[in-house]
Amino acid sequence: MISMRMSDTTIINTIYLIFSAATEALKAKNFGKVRELLKRAEQLSITLRDITKYAEVIHKLSDFYVMIGDDKKAKDLLENLLAQIQEEASKRSELQIEYLQAVTQAFLLRIYSRMGVFDNILLEKTLEMYKKLAKQYKLVDYYLSFLLTIYLPIKSQKSDKKTLRKILLDAISLSNEILEGEPSPDALPIIAETLVQLANIEIALEDYRNALTHVLNALEIYRQLENFRENFCRILEDLLDFLYKNREKQRYIDRTMLSEFLENASKKCVNFRKIEELAKHLGFLE
């Protein structure tokens, strides 16, 4: 007898059609319909043979359940997926399985945080997995993205600013070591954002010299990235606004670097009028 079993590709395509219908039902606030569609997608996902495709669907399903306020269902789906991935990892060790486990744990940590659960063991284990991926495969952007979007917000609930500063300094140092001074285009924006977050923590610690140095370093990176022009312009305006409100901190700024940024801003920033106004008040422009 010829098997009529659908291929993984057909199943995935069908599931994504269901997700599209669920999105429309969500917009209409027809939550009963959303649940009905998600249940159908979950039933179909069980027939997938490829664990990568299965994980992709479960991650998406968990997002939908979060959007309708059912964190417990999202948690249950992710915990079940994680158990399957861990079983698979015990059989074979390869990049795709390691990555799936790290990402699934990150999804789960986000849900735990929403539910008020602090799992420090899982948090640190996941960070180490992302570090390993960064070291072995130079996936620094994945490592820093996890650090900024999940690890740091959760860790900040239980840690002081000095601890958070050390975490970010270590992350930047490790990233530079892995990339050997030649960051990939994918890594540059997240390195810049890490420097900005570090600077914010240092300002809170009143370590203004290092904070302003790290902001300038972030600006130098953003200046090179045409697609991140808005980031460059916004951070430059924020920096000048900070200096305007805290004029005694000007002594910590590298005026030569700042002058170069202002020259760039005149050519690329839609908010240059505000930047120029602040710079004139501070004496950086005539």
Band the pLDDT of 181: cuts 50, 70, 90: low
Kindly state the average pLDDT of the residues 104-131: 96
**Pick the residue with more confidence: 168 or 92?**
168
Q: Are 113 and 153 in contact (CB under 8 A)?
A: yes
Distances (CA, A) of 26 to 57, 180, 273: 18, 46, 42
Contacts for 268 with CB less than 8 Å, ≥ 6 apart? 229, 232, 233
C-alpha span between 77 and 39 (Å, rounded): 12
Q: Are 103 and 139 in contact (CB under 8 A)?
A: no
Distances (CA, A) of 214 to 95, 118, 176, 197: 33, 30, 14, 9
pTM, 2 dp = 0.89
C-alpha span between 63 and 147 (Å, rounded): 20
With a cut of 50, say whether residue 2 has pLDDT above it. Answer: no
Q: Name the residue with tokens 């219908």.
A: 21
Residue 91 confidence (pLDDT) = 84
Kindly state the average pLDDT of the residues 249-266: 95
* Per-residue pLDDT reduced to its tens digit, 8-37: 999 999 999 999 999 999 999 999 999 999
- What does pLDDT average to over the chain? 94
Lowest mean pLDDT among 168-182, 196-210, 228-242: 168-182
Write phi, then psi, for 228 (nearest 5 degrees). Answer: -115, 30
Residue 213 confidence (pLDDT) = 97
Q: Are 275 and 269 in contact (CB under 8 A)?
A: yes
Write phi, then psi, for 191 (nearest 5 degrees). Answer: -65, -45
Q: Name the residue with tokens 């610690």.
A: 205
C-alpha span between 218 and 98 (Å, rounded): 31
